[in-house]
Structure 1
Amino acid sequence: MAKRADASAGTPATVALTRDGIAFTAHTYDHDPRAAAYGLEAAEKLGVDADRVFKTLLAMVDGSLAVAIVPVARQLDLKAFASALGGKRAEMADPRVAERKTGYVVGGISPIGQKTPLPTVLDESAILCETVLVSGGRRGLDLELAPDDLVAATGGRYAPIAR
C-alpha cells in the first residue's frame, strides 16, 4: 500500500508512521460536526465496511490509562479489556483526560503518535482484514494500514475485546 502524500494529513500519527517506515494511506472526508458517531460517519463517507473502521477508546484499567481499538459498529467489552491487560476492572476514561494524555481531541484520537505511550489492545477481529482504518489524529482524517502494522506502531497486542 503506497503512502499518499497529503500535506493536510500532517499529524503526530502520520509523522510517527512515516518515521517508522510503516506504509499507510491517508483518507480525508468532510466531517459533519453534527455527526453523533465519528467512526460510523467515517465508514459511510469513505464508503468502507464498518467492520474495517476501528475507533480508539481510552479506559482506566485498575487505575491506569490504556487504549482499546475496536470496530466502530461494536462496543468495548470492559471486562475483556481489563483481562487482556491483566487487570480486574476497567471503566471509560474521562474525555478531558483522554485528550490531555493523547494530545488529540475526542472524535480524532488516533491510537498512533500519542503524546504519552499507553498500553494498547486491538480487537482480534482486525486479523480478518487485509487493512483497517483508524483515526489519523483529527476529525475527517482516517489512516488505512495493515493490522499487524497498527499493532507494531502502537506497541500493542491483539485480544477479543469487542462485543
Structure 2
Amino acid sequence: MSKTTRATQALAKAGVAFTVHTYDYDPNAERIGLQAAEAIGEEPHRVLKTLMAEVDGKPVCVVVPSDREVSMKKLAAAFSGKSAAMMKPANAEKATGYVVGGISPFGQKKTVPTAIEAAAMDEPLVYMNGGQRGLQVRLSPSDAKTVLAAIVASVVAEA
C-alpha cells in the first residue's frame, strides 16, 4: 500500500501537520467508517467519514463522525439549498477520482463545497480518509477546515 496519495500530497503542500495510519480494510464491512475506527483502535466519533452528496443537484462533500448519519434537511440548509441527496457511488468516484471506501475530502479531482460536522471541531485530533482504502490521516479538525475551506455546521441526524 502506498502511503502517498493525492490526499497526503495536498496536505503536505498545504503545510499541515498530519500522521498516516494504515489498517486492514474490510470490503464486506457493513459500515466502512466504523470498521476503520475499530481497526485503528479509535473512538468512532473521532474517525470521520467522507460522504459525497448533492444539494439542489450540485456536488458537495460532507465529513461527519463515522457513528452518525447525515440529515439531508440539515445538509441542504448548511449550503442554503432546498434539497439534498446522497450521490450515487459511481458518480462519487467519478467526481472525486477516488474509489468508494477510499474517498478523501483532500485532493479530490474537483474542489467542491465541503461541510464538516460541528461536533468534530471539539476534538483535538480526528482521522479522515487518506485517499485509499485502509489509509487514514490524523490531523487537527481546524487544519482540515482550513485546507478544505470548509463550512462548519450541524449536519448529523438526531441520535
Instruction: Report the TM-score, using the length of structure 2 for normalisation.
Output: 0.96
Displacement over 3 Å in runs of 4+ = none
**Helix, strand or coil: the match of 1:148?**
helix
Structure-2 residue corresponding to 1:136: 130
Runs of at least 5 residues in structure 2 that lack an aligned partner in the other structure: none
% identical equivalent positions: 45
**116, 121, 124: which one aligns with 2:115:** 121
Aligned to 2:17: 23
**Counterpart position of 2:62:** 68
2-structure distance, mates of 1:33, 1:106: 10
- Select the residue among 69, 76, 79 that pairs with 1:82: 76
Displacement of 1:33: 2.2
Between the aligned partners of 1:151 and 1:135, the Cα distance in structure 2 is 14
Q: Which residue in 2 is equivalent to 1:54?
A: 48
Once superposed, what is the RMSD of the aligned Cα atoms? 1.0
Structure 2 Cα separation of the partners of residues 153 and 113 of structure 1: 10
Q: What amino acid sits opposite 2:68 in the alignment?
A: R
SS where residue 74 of structure 1 aligns? coil
Q: 1:32 aligns with which of 23, 26, 29?
A: 26
Taking the aligned partners of 2:18 and 2:24, their CA distance within structure 1 comes to 20
Deviations 1:36-83 (A, max 9, x none): 211111100100000101111111100101001111110001110110
